[in-house]
Amino acid sequence: MIVNSSGGSSGPRREVVRVGTREVLEEERERARQRVAALEREFAGLAEAASAAGTDDEHDPEGATLAFERQHAAALLAAAREQVAAADAALRRLAAGRYGVCERCGQPIGAGRLTARPAALTCIRCAASGSG
């Protein structure tokens, strides 16, 4: 007796996932740029406040707070700049037809990860296992 299990009308349906489009990446880069600009203003403001207060004295609670806020702003600024660079890199990879391929292991980066982080250059496993 032959059981024919092939065929049927319910073929695999293709989900259209809107990842890896130029539009998404350019939006991402623009958002990151705006964040960089806002943080640069904030950072400049904090630097001004510190010099206006005339103190970077650790014993002055206000000086310490300002120093902490400057460090915090500097860290956020560095992260935002990295995001701009990552979006740029992703756009270059898209142009080269290599977008969505992990730059470490060469495996495809999951659609879910690309949706959450359009500028991701590594797959979730490499991102989890390595620093950087």
Q: How far apart are CA 49 and CA 52, in angstroms?
A: 5
Q: How far apart are CA 126 and CA 132, in angstroms?
A: 9
Amino acid found at 132: G
Helix 22-53 to helix 61-95 angle (10° resolution) is 160
Residue 123 contacts Zn ion per CB under 5 A? yes
* Interaction mask 19-58, Zn ion, x per CB under 5 A: ----------------------------------------
Q: Which of 19, 46 has the CB closer to Zn ion?
A: 19
Q: Which of 60, 103 has the CB closer to Zn ion?
A: 103
Residue 126 contacts Zn ion per CB under 5 A? yes
Query: Do residues 21 and 111 make contact, with C-beta atoms less than 8 angstroms apart?
Result: no
* Interaction mask 73-112, Zn ion, x per CB under 5 A: -----------------------------x-xx-------
Q: How far apart are CA 27 and CA 11, in angstroms?
A: 35
Q: Which of 39, 93 has the CB closer to Zn ion?
A: 93
Question: What residue ranges bind Zn ion (CB under 5 A)?
Answer: 102, 104-105, 123, 126
